[in-house]
A and B are shown apart, each in its own frame.
Chain A
């Protein structure tokens, strides 16, 4: 079955630690995205990539980093510079990121600082 797989489902981070969230898709989509979801707020865009080896900052990129070395993979690293990382993180992909193309989402990773 085609889809987007995020792992792990739950992740706990200690203060000062970097953690990496995995996102893999087998939909052959060119564009991939990372969003953050906080209670009572809309999804906010962290980073996006429309092609391998290229990515752009979204609205809240500070304290995060990404890579896009393969078409099917777009990992997100939450660095120690992100002061409030506790949130629900969602990865998405779309066929080409163009006008009017819908995005499909993974099942999310819930990150908690302990």
Chain B
């Protein structure tokens, strides 16, 4: 059973059309949830860390939120340059300090 599941697998948006990406997890003892952005052929770029339910963080058009079983990455009025794969990862007591990654959501924003 996958411990970290991201949905949808792919998302196409028109420029300016806001939406949300989901990351659900089944691990126990969450120590941190991380969001990354990855451009094709490049390494992931760190975006946010969330530690506890109810926490929110924002950066430009992106806002990450966390509940007890899932995290959302909200994208407000996206632009074509927001097109990328968005990865989430969790760090949990049952895995020590290792990060467990989801498969990612591929976002395409068309102008």
List A residues at the B interface (Cβ < 8 Å).
4, 6, 35, 40-45, 48, 58, 90, 92, 97-100, 102-108, 110
Contacts and interface: CB of A to CB of B under 8 A. Distances in A.
Interface of A, helix, strand, loop or mixed by DSSP: loop
Interface residues of B, number: 24
B43 A99 contact: no
Interface stretch (B44-52, B58-66, B73-81): B44-52
Interface in B57-111: 87, 89, 91, 97-104
B87 A42 contact: yes
Interface of B, helix, strand, loop or mixed by DSSP: strand
Given A99-B32, A100-B32, A108-B41, A42 B49 contact: no
Interface of B: 4, 31-32, 34, 36, 41-46, 49, 51, 87, 89, 91, 97-104
Most buried by A among B32, B44, B104: B44
A101 to B, nearest CB: 8
